[in-house]
């Protein structure tokens, strides 16, 4: 195994072009586990740790430009206001040690349905900026996940920056695991209210071959909120709307039975999380005067 | 975090020991290895290194039950850096080993009987080379039908996991796929059942728990010039290993010199041999030192687990709550090799009704041979599974009678003088009702601890924790109680002893003692306790603890809660002999100067020989001068008896230990997630030799019991008998956010038969913790919950 250590982004792109099978490594929290367990034995490892720009973020007017290697700890500590959903998701990632190493670029690169960041990115709305020696392109997050542990990257491309919409309303994120910390997702759910566009977006993790949005549930809720004038009158959402939304989120899931949980449980839990998060975010939107993000 | 109280009720029998000695018995002296372990500087068995050493690697079976058609090592042998590739054909001597039954192949021959069984062995100059070479070995299997449970094991046409058994139980078992069967019949359960106003029945399932010690199996074998081997390993019992290793190497025991390496946890999982024989075989074969370290994945295949069990119970009681009878059947899955299954069967059977008075019982426990992973010793050893079931039964009975579950338990609680189902009289304190009273009397932890002043919910205090699944929605509190009984020490007539060599001499004008035993320090605290006993007995301050090795006699295993009792007892005993020898020298030298030297009751205190009145006669240094006193003696607990194979009668156990728990849990009833808020424990410890260690053991045992209540389980696919979750990603153990406050209230009611009155403490808290948590979850949800661990699916009807 050759270990490539480019000193700059340009060198990294050149190396990836020359060795398209090279596996990029930053925090190493996924890649090293796979290597240690001999699940993969890449010909080349492409170390991105010398590339400073990947560890930087910038808060713009509309978006946060998040470098692929910005560790989860930094997101939790510095981007809570702009990216509340992703900050909550970051807090559920593994242990403090792993959160100090791992970043969203790794989650996207691995594209595991269980990656903690995905539902938050789907709910917030994001574009993944990838680049190769041929140039750069922006992949909408909805088109990024193409299969189980597969994504839309070309072999010569590297993930550079994730452009995530700044929150214009409340966001929530929950993950179910059978332990109260340091657990891989049995399933996960993210919800973002977008008052500016009067829409909601969702994200479901670990309950389908890829991270997905519950689009029918979103459409139903968008219509129900519009019809009832909820965005303007700020009324409490009726239990029947919340239930229907939760049921549609459950129905959007396409989970499997595995060692971590049954399909039936996953579908059930997605619905519970959806209903609760709708309550939390809507209460916050109505200006109940207290944050319901969770005070951990 | 914990609030600890130590209470000695009035009228408590306590043995009179020596006056308080600095750093002696009863003091919380600190572990010398504590800081090193916390800071990561401690050298564990996996940290050893030897110049020019090779790395050993095992190839394990990929199927659970198969004939081995062929093994082709040719490609592996041609790899650069590979020094040896061995199969069973290359073994130098005996091909099987085992603690109780010699049924376990060093390397599989003929067939493999479980997923992950060692088949071939590689030595190479780099661990990666060794792994790659192992992967090049081609093994052809012809798969055989699987035995995975009682039905398939005992079916009329069942294939035998082991043909031609000739072990000490093969003659009496009803089927060759039963390792051991232990019935216990006392009184007449059928007649007594007619007196019962209420009868409750239950079927319970206990999942396969893993010891999940953090230091994987590892060690270093160094070939010696005399043709022998020096072996450095982390184990629970050096001499038991030695007895199994030497015949497999074809060496006399004196040529296999074993030294204890740093142990990273044990909990029963290091009682059996792991890499010891294999590393030694490679070292002798290659003439080079060989290191072996399992990774986490391999570790799940590298040691036995706790027996999963099916338990069938019937309890009867009169309307006023007095137990009339208990009938039960316990089926323990021993997996492919016996390990300590037979002893676990004896424990499960003899402790199956719990710490209660029941005159009429019909008990049967069996241990199966199957093609599942081998199971053996783990903290609680058969008593854990039983406690889970009989405590669920007691709650069921209380509900049926409309009684308070604690009152029902207290009404039937055993006490000193109670006769066990085996006919054995409990002849030392058994404060079962008092332990329950204490946990019940504790103030309840405050409700809704997640509520904060204006900051929203503190999710760390809620089920789901940092995963942010609830801000209080769906959360219901439940409270549950349980109490358990565990035997201490080795039972059923086993000749159980420990050996201590004590040396006393003068160095730089100061009398000092050296303690040499083969006792394994696996975290239980022998490292402080052995020195504390020497200080108390010999009146010296400076005590050196030598590394455990086989240059001294056997200490027995660090298991069964026995090591402070047994090696502590051996040290106390040897120190007593040393003291007499020192006094003899003193009398010889100074006897004519002072009449008090003739006094039979002289003591060693504060570096001096003193009379029982406190008068100093001479310093120990002046008595000894350049003489050295050294004593090595074996010490035994009182003998026990085997259980009768038909009636189960016999004084089978040395001592009993009792603990009770109250669990307070909060359950997210919609998502099926559990947060244990508090697990209060009350336990009789006989005598707290090191109170800090006592509390640590109780909190650790409690947490391990919590683990198997809500998350810990090795999942074996019944269709393939393969382990589905051999990793810490999917075999979950409690983190600090899953670990509640554990207040500990310990009693010190001395056992007059035991040194200082001590009672084994490490195991009892693991028993009652699990059923207390289950009872609390049942209270919160109203669900029956007959299986542990409880998964979210079971709480949400989504199985």
CATH of the domain at B518: 3.30.365.10
Which of B127, B469, B671, B720 has the highest number of chain A CBs within 10 A, making it the mutation to test binding with A? B469
Residue A288 banded pLDDT, cuts 50, 70, 90: low
Q: What angle do CA B788, B789, B795 make, to 5 degrees?
A: 95
Cβ-Cβ contacts under 8 Å, A36 against chain B: 295
Which of A180, A189, A191 has the highest number of chain B CBs within 10 A, making it the mutation to test binding with B? A180
Of B131, B469, B796, the CB nearest to A273: B469
Alpha carbon distance A188, A202 (integer Å): 11
Alpha carbon distance A227, B786 (integer Å): 48
How confident is the model at residue B600, as a pLDDT? 83
B386 and B237 within one domain: no
User: What Rg value do the Cα atoms of chain A yield, rounded?
Assistant: 19
Of A178, A181, A280, the CB nearest to B471: A280
Region for residue B591 given its phi and psi (left: phi exceeds 0; alpha: psi -120 to 50; beta: otherwise): alpha
Alpha carbon distance A121, B287 (integer Å): 58
- 3-state secondary structure at position A214: coil
Which helix H or strand E contains A17, and what residues bound it?
Answer: helix A9-18
Q: What angle do CA B301, B306, B310 make, to 5 degrees?
A: 120
Alpha carbon distance B454, B370 (integer Å): 57
B520 and B454 within one domain: no
Please give, rounded to a whole number of angstroms, the shortest distance from the CA of A241 to a CA of chain B. Answer: 18
C-alpha closest to that of B81 among B30, B20, B38, B134: B134
Which of A98, A172, A178 has the highest number of chain B CBs within 10 A, making it the mutation to test binding with B? A178
Does the CB of B535 have a partner CB in chain A at under 8 Å? no
- 3-state secondary structure at position B612: coil
Does the CB of B416 have a partner CB in chain A at under 8 Å? no
Contact B474 A295 (CB under 8 A): no
Which whole number is the average pLDDT over B486-492? 97
Cβ-Cβ contacts under 8 Å, A175 against chain B: 467-469
Strands (DSSP E) found in B581-735? 603-605, 608-610, 616-619, 629-636, 655-668, 673-684, 716-717, 722-723
Cβ-Cβ contacts under 8 Å, B465 against chain A: 179-181
How confident is the model at residue A292, as a pLDDT? 42
Considering B582, B611, B636, which residue would you say is the last residue of a domain?
A: B636
Considering B604, B636, B668, which residue would you say is the last residue of a domain?
A: B636
Instruction: Count the alpha carbons within 13 Å of B463 in the hemisphere toward its beta carbon.
Output: 27
How confident is the model at residue B233, as a pLDDT? 98
B137 and B89 within one domain: yes
Residue B727 has pLDDT above 80, yes or no: yes
How confident is the model at residue B19, as a pLDDT? 64
Tens digit of each residue's pLDDT (9 = 90 or more) over B215-225? 999 999 999 99
Contact A296 B474 (CB under 8 A): no
For residue B377, is it within any domain?
A: yes
User: Which residues form the domain of B294?
Assistant: 45-144+216-263+270-302
Number of domains in chain B: 3
B761 and B650 within one domain: yes
For residue B163, is it within any domain?
A: no
CB distance A99 to A72 below 8 Å:
yes
Tens digit of each residue's pLDDT (9 = 90 or more) over B662-679? 999 999 999 999 999 999
Tens digit of each residue's pLDDT (9 = 90 or more) over B328-343? 999 999 999 999 999 9
Tens digit of each residue's pLDDT (9 = 90 or more) over B143-186? 999 999 999 999 999 999 999 999 999 999 999 999 999 999 99
Please give, rounded to a whole number of angstroms, the shortest distance from the CA of A157 to a CA of chain B. Answer: 30
Cβ-Cβ contacts under 8 Å, A176 against chain B: 464, 467, 469, 671, 673, 792
Please give, rounded to a whole number of angstroms, the shortest distance from the CA of B264 to a CA of chain A. Answer: 21
**CATH code for the domain in which residue B74 is found:** 3.90.1170.50
C-alpha closest to that of B512 among B624, B639, B376, B638: B624
C-alpha closest to that of B376 among B406, B335, B346, B322: B335
Alpha carbon distance B387, B409 (integer Å): 13
For residue B97, is it within any domain?
A: yes
Strand-pairing partners, residue B182, are B365
Does the CB of B730 have a partner CB in chain A at under 8 Å? yes
Strand order of the β-sheet with A135-140 is A57-59, A63-67, A158-165, A126-132, A135-140
Tens digit of each residue's pLDDT (9 = 90 or more) over B364-420? 999 999 999 999 999 999 999 999 999 999 999 999 999 999 999 999 999 999 999
Residue A289 banded pLDDT, cuts 50, 70, 90: very low
Does the CB of B127 have a partner CB in chain A at under 8 Å? no
How confident is the model at residue B372, as a pLDDT? 98
Residue B599 banded pLDDT, cuts 50, 70, 90: confident
**How would you write B280-298 as a 3-class SS string?**
HHHHHHHCCCEEEECCHHH
Of B470, B724, B732, the CB nearest to A183: B732
Which residue ranges form the domains of chain A, and what is each CATH number?
Answer: 1-47 (3.30.43.10), 176-285 (3.30.390.50)
CB distance B296 to B78 below 8 Å:
no
Which whole number is the average pLDDT over B270-287? 98
C-alpha closest to that of A248 among A214, A277, A203, A278: A214
Cβ-Cβ contacts under 8 Å, A91 against chain B: 466, 468
Tens digit of each residue's pLDDT (9 = 90 or more) over B192-215? 999 999 999 999 999 999 999 999
Which whole number is the average pLDDT over B565-577? 98
Residue B10 banded pLDDT, cuts 50, 70, 90: very low
Residue B468 has pLDDT above 60, yes or no: yes
B460-489 CB burial, b ≥16 within 10 A, e <16? bbbbbbbbbbbbebbbbbbbbbbbbbbbbb
Residue B551 has pLDDT above 80, yes or no: yes
B388 and B280 within one domain: no
For residue B701, is it within any domain?
A: yes
CB distance B416 to B751 below 8 Å:
no
Residue A296 banded pLDDT, cuts 50, 70, 90: very low
Which whole number is the average pLDDT over B772-776? 98
Q: What is the mean pLDDT of chain B?
A: 96
Q: Which residues from A are below 8 Å from B when comparing CB atoms?
A: 36-38, 88, 91-92, 172-184, 186, 259-262, 264-265, 267-269, 272-273, 276, 279-280, 290-296
For residue B460, is it within any domain?
A: yes
- Tally C-beta pairs within 8 A across A and B: 126
Cβ-Cβ contacts under 8 Å, B456 against chain A: 290-295
Alpha carbon distance B47, B102 (integer Å): 31
Cβ-Cβ contacts under 8 Å, B729 against chain A: 184
Which whole number is the average pLDDT over B526-532? 97
Of B455, B670, B725, the CB nearest to A272: B670
How confident is the model at residue A43, as a pLDDT? 96
Q: What is the mean pLDDT of chain A?
A: 95
Strands (DSSP E) found in B517-606? 543-545, 603-605
Neighbours of B416 (CB within 10 A): 13
B545-582 CB burial, b ≥16 within 10 A, e <16? beebbbebbbbbbbbbbbbbbbbbbbbbbbbeebbebb
B529 and B476 within one domain: no
At A83, list the tokens. 């990216």
C-alpha closest to that of B790 among A88, A24, A178: A178
Measured CA to CA in angstroms, residue B740 lies from B471, B669, B736 at distances of: 19, 19, 8
Residue B6 banded pLDDT, cuts 50, 70, 90: very low
Q: Cis before residue B789, ω within 30 degrees of 0?
A: yes
Which whole number is the average pLDDT over A159-179? 97
The predicted model scores a pTM of 0.96
Alpha carbon distance B342, B340 (integer Å): 6
Residue of A nearest to B131 (CA): A38
- ipTM at complex level: 0.95
Residue B9 banded pLDDT, cuts 50, 70, 90: very low
Cβ-Cβ contacts under 8 Å, B464 against chain A: 174, 176-177, 180
B430 and B356 within one domain: yes
Residues in Cβ contact with A39 at an 8 Å cutoff, skipping those fewer than 6 apart: A33
Please give, rounded to a whole number of angstroms, the shortest distance from the CA of B1 to a CA of chain A. Answer: 18
Residue of B nearest to A270 (CA): B671
Residue B14 has pLDDT above 90, yes or no: no
Q: DSSP assignment, residue B104?
A: E
B467 and B512 within one domain: no
Contact B471 A264 (CB under 8 A): no
For residue B358, is it within any domain?
A: yes
Cβ-Cβ contacts under 8 Å, B799 against chain A: 262, 264-265
Contact A178 B458 (CB under 8 A): no
Contact A295 B725 (CB under 8 A): no
Which whole number is the average pLDDT over A197-225? 98
Residue of B nearest to A95 (CA): B735
Interface of B with A in 287-346 (CB under 8 A): 295, 297
B649 and B624 within one domain: no
Residue B13 has pLDDT above 90, yes or no: no
Contact B798 A176 (CB under 8 A): no
- 3-state secondary structure at position B398: helix
Which whole number is the average pLDDT over B680-700? 98
What percent of chain B stands above pLDDT 70?
97
Considering B636, B656, B675, which residue would you say is the last residue of a domain?
A: B636
Cβ-Cβ contacts under 8 Å, A182 against chain B: 735
Which whole number is the average pLDDT over A236-245? 97
Measured CA to CA in angstroms, residue B413 lies from B322, B348, B357, B394, B537 at distances of: 10, 19, 6, 11, 37
Cβ-Cβ contacts under 8 Å, A84 against chain B: none
For residue B202, is it within any domain?
A: no
Does the CB of B707 have a partner CB in chain A at under 8 Å? no
How confident is the model at residue B8, as a pLDDT? 42
CB distance B218 to B44 below 8 Å:
yes
Which whole number is the average pLDDT over B459-465? 95
B657 and B621 within one domain: no
For residue B370, is it within any domain?
A: yes
At A90, list the tokens. 């970051």
CB distance B314 to B400 below 8 Å:
no
B537 and B421 within one domain: no
B671 and B553 within one domain: no
């Amino acid at each position: 195994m050759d270990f490539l250590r480019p000193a700059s982004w340009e060198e990294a792109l050149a190396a990836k072009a020359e060795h398209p099978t090279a596996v990029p490594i930053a925090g190493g929290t996924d890649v090293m586990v796979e290597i240690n367990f001999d699940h993969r034995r890449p010909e080349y490892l492409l170390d991105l740790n010398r590339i400073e720009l990947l560890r930087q973020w910038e808060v713009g007017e509309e978006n946060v430009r998040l470098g692929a290697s910005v560790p989860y700890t930094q997101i939790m500590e510095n981007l809570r206001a702009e990216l509340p959903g992703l900050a909550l998701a970051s807090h559920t990632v593994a242990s403090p040690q792993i959160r100090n190493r791992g970043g969203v670029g790794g989650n996207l690169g691995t594209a595991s349905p269980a990656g903690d960041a995905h539902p938050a990115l789907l709910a917030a709305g994001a574009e993944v900026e990838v680049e190769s020696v041929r140039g750069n392109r922006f992949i909408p997050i909805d088109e990024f996940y193409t299969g189980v542990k597969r994504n839309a990257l070309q072999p010569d491309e590297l993930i550079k920056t994730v452009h995530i919409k700044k929150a214009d309303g409340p966001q929530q994120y929950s993950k179910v695991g059978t332990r109260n910390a340091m657990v891989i997702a049995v399933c996960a759910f993210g919800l973002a209210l977008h008052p500016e566009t009067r829409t909601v977006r969702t994200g479901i993790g670990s309950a389908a071959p890829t991270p997905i949005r519950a689009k029918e549930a979103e459409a139903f809720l968008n219509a129900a909120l519009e019809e009832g004038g909820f965005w303007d009158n700020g009324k409490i959402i009726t239990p029947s709307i919340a239930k229907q939304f939760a049921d549609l989120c459950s129905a959007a899931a396409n989970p499997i039975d595995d060692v971590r949980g049954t399909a039936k449980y996953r579908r059930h839990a997605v619905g519970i999380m959806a209903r609760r998060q709708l309550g939390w975010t809507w209460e916050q939107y109505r200006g109940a005067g207290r944050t319901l993000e969770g005070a951990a | 975090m914990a609030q600890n109280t130590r209470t000695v009720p009035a009228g408590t029998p306590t043995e009179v020991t020596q006056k308080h000695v600095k750093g002696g018995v009863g003091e919380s002296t600190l572990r010398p290895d504590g800081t090193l372990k916390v800071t990561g500087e401690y050298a564990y068995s996996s940290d050893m290194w030897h110049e020019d050493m090779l790395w050993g690697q095992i190839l394990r079976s990929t199927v659970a039950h198969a004939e081995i058609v062929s093994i082709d090592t040719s490609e592996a042998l041609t790899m650069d850096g590979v020094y040896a590739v061995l199969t069973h054909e290359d073994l130098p001597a005996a091909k099987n080993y085992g603690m109780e039954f010699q049924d376990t192949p060093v390397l599989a021959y003929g067939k493999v009987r479980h997923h992950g069984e060692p088949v071939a062995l590689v030595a190479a100059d780099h661990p990666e080379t060794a792994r790659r070479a192992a992967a090049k070995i081609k093994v052809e299997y012809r798969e055989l039908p699987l035995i995975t449970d009682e039905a398939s094991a005992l079916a009329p046409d069942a294939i035998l996991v082991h043909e031609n058994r000739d072990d000490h139980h093969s003659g009496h078992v009803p089927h060759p796929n039963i390792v051991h069967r232990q019935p216990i019949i006392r009184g007449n359960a059928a007649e007594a059942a007619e007196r019962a106003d209420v009868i409750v029945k239950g079927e319970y399932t206990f999942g396969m728990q893993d010891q999940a010690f953090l230091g994987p199996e590892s060690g270093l074998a160094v070939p010696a010039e005399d043709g022998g081997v020096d072996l450095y390993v982390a184990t629970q019992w050096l001499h038991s290993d030695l007895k199994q290793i030497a015949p497999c190497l074809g060496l006399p025991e004196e040529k296999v010199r074993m030294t204890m390496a740093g142990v990273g946890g044990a909990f029963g999982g290091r009682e059996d041999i792991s890499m010891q024989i294999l590393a030694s075989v490679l070292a002798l074969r290659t003439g080079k030192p060989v290191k072996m370290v399992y990774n986490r994945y391999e570790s799940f295949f590298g040691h036995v687990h706790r027996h999963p069990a099916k338990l069938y119970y019937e309890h009867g009681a009169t309307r006023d709550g007095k137990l009339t009878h208990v009938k039960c059947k316990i089926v323990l899955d021993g997996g492919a090799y016996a390990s300590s299954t037979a002893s676990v069967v004896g424990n499960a059977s003899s402790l199956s009704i719990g710490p209660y008075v029941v005159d009429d019982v019909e008990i049967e426990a069996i241990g199966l041979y199957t093609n599942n992973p081998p199971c053996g010793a783990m903290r609680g050893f058969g008593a854990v599974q039983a406690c889970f079931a009989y405590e669920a039964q007691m709650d069921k009975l209380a509900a049926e009678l409309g009684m308070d579950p604690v009152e029902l338990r207290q009404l039937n609680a055993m006490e000193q003088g109670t006769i066990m189902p085996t006919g054995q009289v409990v002849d030392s304190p058994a404060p079962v009702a008092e332990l329950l009273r204490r946990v019940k009397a504790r103030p309840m932890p405050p409700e809704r601890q997640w509520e904060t002043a204006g900051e929203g919910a503190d999710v760390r205090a809620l089920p789901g924790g940092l995963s942010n699944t609830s801000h209080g929605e769906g959360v219901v509190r439940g409270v549950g109680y349980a109490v358990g009984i565990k035997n201490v020490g080795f039972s059923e007539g086993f000749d159980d002893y420990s050996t201590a060599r004590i040396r006393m001499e003068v160095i730089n004008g100061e009398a000092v003692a050296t303690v040499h035993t083969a006792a394994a320090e696996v975290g239980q605290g022998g490292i402080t306790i052995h020195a504390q006993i020497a200080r108390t007995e010999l009146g010296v301050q400076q005590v050196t603890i030598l590394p455990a090795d086989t240059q001294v006699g056997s200490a027995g295993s660090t298991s069964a809660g026995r090591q402070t009792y047994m090696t502590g007892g051996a040290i106390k005993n040897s120190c007593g002999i040393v003291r007499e020898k020192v006094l003899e020298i003193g009398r010889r030298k100074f006897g004519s100067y002072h009449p008090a030297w003739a006094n039979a009751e002289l003591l060693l205190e504060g570096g001096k020989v003193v009379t029982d009145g406190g008068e100093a006669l001479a310093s120990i240094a002046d008595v000894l001068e350049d003489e050295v006193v050294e004593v090595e003696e074996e010490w035994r607990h009182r003998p026990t008896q085997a259980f009768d194979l038909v009636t189960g009668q016999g004084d089978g156990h040395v001592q009993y230990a009792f603990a009770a728990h109250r669990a307070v849990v909060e359950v997210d009833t919609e998502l099926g997630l559990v947060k244990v808020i508090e697990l209060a424990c009350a336990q009789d410890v006989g005598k707290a030799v090191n109170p800090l260690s006592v509390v640590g053991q109780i909190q650790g045992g409690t947490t391990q019991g919590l683990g198997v209540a809500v998350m810990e389980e090795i999942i074996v696919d019944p269709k393939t008998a393969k382990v589905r979750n051999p990793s810490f990603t999917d075999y979950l153990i409690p983190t600090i956010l899953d670990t509640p406050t554990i207040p500990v209230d310990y009693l010190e009611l001395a056992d007059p038969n035991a040194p200082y009155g001590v009672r084994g403490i490490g195991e009892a808290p693991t028993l009652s913790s699990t059923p207390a948590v289950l009872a609390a979850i049942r209270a919160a949800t109203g669900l029956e919950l007959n299986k542990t661990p409880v998964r979210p699916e079971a709480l949400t009807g989504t199985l």
